[in-house]
Amino acid sequence: MPSLGVYKGRRRSGALPPTRFAIFRCFAVLLREQQNQSFLMLTPLSAPGRKGERPTVKIFLIEDEPAIRTELARLLQKYGYDCEAGGDFARIADQALASGAGLVLLDINLPVQDGFQVCRQIRRQSDVPILVLTSRSTDFDELMSLNLGADDFVAKPYNPQVLLARIQRLLARAGAAPAAPAVLEHGGLVLDLARAEMHCGGKTQQLTKNEFGILRLLMQNKGQILPREALIDELWQSEAFIDENTLNVNIARLRRKLAEIGLPDYLKTRRGMGYQV
């Protein structure tokens, strides 16, 4: 059954068979959990309970569709957020305020009262960031939301990576979460996250979206061996239903660009296991 809220895109020719692709996806998810969710972490949030680390940011979900609410909670928890949702839509604004959440995700189509009314009630009492996430995607809906105090507007079906980036930006602006680092550095290589460029010894190479995603994931997990399935999973976030050949092509291109800036052996293949930097 397809997701109700997430944009998946169209299947491309030459893609993995659905059964095999599902196995890859499940394997990558299990590996993420075993690595304390180190893969694909767009936000620098830490797991709670460790000495000296920031507490987990709570996000309050105002969404009346159970399937979408569950889908959102799983996505956010996977990336280190704590989630809470209310069920009394007559008092949902009060519940959101009482939760102490660092951000509110708000749908417009709600029972009892619509999201516009809820947004107005919350904004009268709090400056908590509000991100409207709704299937109502007209210009009027977006303008009304922003005029009533919402901080951002995302239409369904949503791209998970775009949604997470918008959440991170709002939290950083509000001071509820640290801003994401501008660069990653490892082994003499500097990856500019804002420009999708890599630098070494005064030389620069521009990266494609897929090359950038692969290198970012490897550098975020420096020293660790990442299986091919984890990299395929990373590419799948932006390229629906990619195949193994796509990964091979992008790895080869990335290696050529690394060699051109003086790092021919930077990306290592661990046969039978995966890749490592």
Q: Which residue has the higher pLDDT, 116 or 40?
A: 116
Q: Which residue has the higher pLDDT, 56 or 250?
A: 250
Q: Is the dihedral of CA 229, 246, 2, 171 positive or negative?
A: positive
d(CA 160, CA 215): 20
**pLDDT surpassing 90 at residue 70:** yes
| CATH code, 181-276 | 1.10.10.10
Residues 267, 275 contacting (CB under 8 angstroms): yes
- Model pLDDT for residues 132-174, shown as the tens digit of each residue: 999 998 999 999 999 999 999 999 988 888 899 899 889 988 8
φ/ψ bin of 201: left (φ > 0), alpha (ψ from -120 to 50), beta (otherwise):
left
d(CA 32, CA 42): 13
Asked whether the domain spanning 181-276 has the same topology as the one spanning 58-174, the reply is no
What pLDDT does residue 196 have?
Answer: 87
d(CA 124, CA 130): 12
Tokens 């936000």 belong to which residue? 43
Residue ranges covered by each domain of the chain: 58-174, 181-276
**pLDDT surpassing 60 at residue 90:** yes
d(CA 136, CA 154): 10
Tokens at 103, concatenated? 């951000």
**pLDDT more than 90, % of the chain:** 55
Residues 263, 203 contacting (CB under 8 angstroms): no
Sheet holding 130-134, edge to edge: 82-85, 58-62, 103-106, 130-134, 152-155
Window from 46-55, 90-99, 193-202, 209-218 with minimum mean pLDDT: 46-55
Following CA atoms 107, 109, 113, 117 in sequence, which dihedral angle do they give, to the nearest 10 degrees? Answer: 50
Q: Right CATH number for 58-174 from 3.40.50.300, 1.20.1250.20, 3.40.50.2300, 3.40.50.1100?
A: 3.40.50.2300
- Model pLDDT for residues 251-262, shown as the tens digit of each residue: 999 999 999 999
